[in-house]
């Protein structure tokens, strides 16, 4: 029996579209980071929550390492301390580096990987797709909390729907 190429079979979302979706969310997160005054980024929070700088460090511990992990099966230790990131400029630069890491490893992620079992960071069991969807959702979740911090500071956040 001949097999068809994947392009002839209906996909819910294809790999290029998923990368565009992910990078689109990252553009909104980067604009959110940019919108914070330096001081508030590291000091402001509500209800005992983490600052947006701390939340961003969590995102940075997950994004590039997940792309690399899915591409190579090598998972770095989960590191959200990143004590060297003490300025807004350093966070923005690290965020851009993570975007480059994602773009670098994306092609090496196989289509099969999304349905394979993955133990992310050596501890979180799931599949490739569930791991990736989780970290995109987690970024959407924490960025939305940053939106509330900005509103509380009297600053208009970026538009959620402008993911380009």
Place of tokens 């290029």: 16
Which residue of 32, 35, 142, 158 would you call a contact of its own copies, by CB under 8 A?
A: 142
Residue 121 is a binding residue for its own copies (CB under 8 A) = no
CA distance 100 to 134: 20
Give the count of beta carbons closer than 10 Å to the beta carbon of residue 19. 16
Which of positions 75-114 make contact with its own copies (CB under 8 A)? 110-112, 114
Which residue of 43, 79, 153, 162 would you call a contact of its own copies, by CB under 8 A?
A: 153
142 labeled part of a ligand binding site: yes
Contact 139, 147 (CB under 8 A): no
CB closer to its own copies out of 54 and 138: 138
Which residue of 89, 90, 108, 152 would you call a contact of its own copies, by CB under 8 A?
A: 152
- Helical pair 15-35 and 88-106, crossing angle rounded to 10 deg: 180
Residue 119 is a binding residue for its own copies (CB under 8 A) = no
Here the tokens at position 154 are 């009297």
CB closer to its own copies out of 107 and 141: 141
> What SS3 class is residue 124?
strand
Q: Indicate if the alpha-carbon torsion angle 162, 36, 62, 49 is positive or negative.
A: negative
Binding footprint of its own copies on the chain (CB under 8 A):
1-4, 6, 8-15, 17-18, 21, 25, 46-49, 110-112, 114-115, 129-130, 133-134, 137-138, 140-145, 147-154, 160-161
Please enumerate, by residue number, every residue annotated as part of a binding site for a divalent metal cation.
142
């Amino acid at each position: 029996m001949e097999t068809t190429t994947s392009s002839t079979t209906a996909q819910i979302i294809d790999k290029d579209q998923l990368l565009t979706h992910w990078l689109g969310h990252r553009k909104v997160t980067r604009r959110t980071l940019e919108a914070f005054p330096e001081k508030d980024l590291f000091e402001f929070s509500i209800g005992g929550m983490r600052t947006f700088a701390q939340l961003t460090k969590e995102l940075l511990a997950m994004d590039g390492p997940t792309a690399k992990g899915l591409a190579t099966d090598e998972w770095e230790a989960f590191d959200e301390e990143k004590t060297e990131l003490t300025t807004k400029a350093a966070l923005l630069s690290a965020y851009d580096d993570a975007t480059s890491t994602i773009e670098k490893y994306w092609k090496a992620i196989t289509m099969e990987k999304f349905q394979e079992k993955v133990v992310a960071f050596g501890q979180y069991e799931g599949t490739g797709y569930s791991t990736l969807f989780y970290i995109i959702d987690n970024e959407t979740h924490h960025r939305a909390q940053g939106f509330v911090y900005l509103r509380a500071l009297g600053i208009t956040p970026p538009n959620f729907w402008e993911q380009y």
